[in-house]
Amino acid sequence: MTVIDANRMHEIETRYPEYFHRSFRQRFGGLMILIATLLYSLYAVWFFDLPKLFAEAHWERVGIYLSQWVSYDVQPEFRIEGDGSIDIRYPRFSPLGDNPHPDWLVNNPDGSITVSISGTSRTVTVSKSQTIVTAHGVSVPVDVSSGAPKVVGPVPGWMTVYDDNVLADLGFAGNVSISVDRVKIRKRFIGWANFIFDTQSSFFDKPVREVVSLIVSGPRIKPDQSNLSLAFDDIWNNSEWQHGDVWTKLFQTIVMAFLGTLLGSLTAFPLAFLAARNITPNRLLNQILKRFFDFLRSVDMLIWALFLTRAFGPGPLAGSGAIFLTETGTLGKLYSEGLENIDNKPREGIKSTGAQTVLVHRYGIMPQIVPVFVSQTLYQWESNVRGATIIGAVGAGGIGLKLWEAMRTNANWENVAYMVILILIVVFIFDTASNALRHRLMGTKAH
């Protein structure tokens, strides 16, 4: 055990005062940051009234919307005529086509109709005098022979009785609305209906093997067009999923991001040389250009898109212009700061040989900045692919506008899911390609 005397202790304190005489900030800085964070969090809870917000939120809609992303429904309506017959009707543009004969709908010998909502555990049997709903292990008859529908027996928790109809909630499988003269059924299916061929296609509702056979070696469905060409046209012009329009708009989004970033980088590159203090020793010009960059990037891309759609009308031109203006400011600032941080020794060495200014920039500056500039530009391009989707929603064209139109209907959530997945795939591809190019240019190894 080593004993340190008073003189040795005083010497250590003198040599390392920061460890023995710590300031108030050093001693209590971490605690003060923690307290400030907690106080700000409490203020945010009060300011946004989060308890009330969470209490009044419609959380049930989350499940409804998510289920509609991955499923579709069919809504047959059974009308009870005066002679006791039952007329089956489907909404216009039903996923089953114009003349549906689904196997989950059975005509019984006694004239009633049984609909399988979910296998044999959830069924609905419609007759002229009553409708029997079977679910959760019980069968509940609803009498429709009098002036208003009446549940026979106890009313289960999943059934609601109103003045003129009875609503049975069968969960994800669907629901049933029963009135005196009609029964409306909503039956839900997992998947995307008619994703390949719509109901107007010549290949609609045909098995995969038959479709392949027709395309490969079958007789022509239309004499003036091959079956392969016809199949492609039917897929591309699918009226329900609009593949052709969606993919065209997606390509517009990619072109908008590329064009806007390219023009922004080409404009920012020469301006950055004028804005860099060590390249252009003119303080007034430096400050004017830097404030110009600040102005362009301080106005959000979405705001630029709103301005330009007013000027040029909706379309990809406004989107490309918004990205161009924003990227001129962003890349101009990044480029100029990169130039100000270069090593001046190579530049001074080339200048000492009497080389012209262009050659000094070419051999003394460019080798240092090109990898950094390209890396920054690629990152901005990747980011702008996502940004182009957002500005498209305000009328700047591209898939963003298409996505917003689908969301506004509040009914085409499966189309929304389709476009979101396409956007995610494109962003993933561009992110991967951009990362690979950046690491290659910077000479680092990608992880």
Looking at residue 415, which CATH number applies to its domain?
1.10.3720.10
Between helices 316-340 and 301-312, what is the axis angle to 10°? 140
Please indicate, yes or no, if residue 18 is contained in any of the structural domains.
Answer: no
Q: What is the pLDDT of residue 243?
A: 93
- The per-residue pLDDT for 378 is 85
What is the model's pLDDT at position 163? 86
**Looking at residue 446, what DSSP letter applies?**
-
> In whole angstroms, what is the distance from residue 284 CA to residue 130 CA?
88
What is the structure's pLDDT at 332? 93
Quote the CA–CA distance of 341 and 338 in Å, as a whole number.
5
* Domain final residue, candidates 156, 190, 224: 190
Tokens of 168: 């049975």
What pLDDT was estimated at residue 248?
92
Same domain, 115 and 176: yes
pLDDT along the chain (447 residues), means of 10: 64 66 72 92 90 84 82 91 85 84 89 88 90 91 87 90 91 90 92 90 89 89 89 92 92 91 93 88 90 91 89 84 93 90 77 77 78 85 86 82 83 87 89 80 61
Please check whether residue 227 lies inside any domain of the structure: no
Residue listed under structure tokens 């379309």: 315
pTM for this predicted structure: 0.79
Number of domains in the chain: 3
Do 272 and 392 fall into the same domain?
yes
Last-in-domain residue among 172, 190, 208:
190
> Residue 200 falls within a domain, yes or no?
no
Tell me if 126 is assigned to some domain: yes
Q: Which of 373, 372, 367, 374 is nearest to 349 (CA)?
A: 367
> For the segment 377-423, what is each residue's pLDDT rounded down to a tens digit?
888 888 888 888 888 887 777 888 888 888 887 778 889 899 999 99
For residue 198, being part of any structural domain is answered with: no
- Residue 161: its H or E element: strand 159-161
Q: State whether 275 and 371 are in the same domain.
A: yes
| Amino acid 323: pLDDT | 93
**Under 8 Å between Cβ of 178 and 168:** yes
CA distance 323 to 381: 10
175 with 263, same domain? no
Domain encompassing residue 185: 75-190
Q: What is the DSSP string of 242-310?
A: -HHHHHHHHHHHHHHHHHHHHHHHHHHHHHHHHH-TTTS--HHHHHHHHHHHHHHHHS-HHHHHHHHHH
CA-based nearest residue to 365, from 381, 346, 382, 351: 346
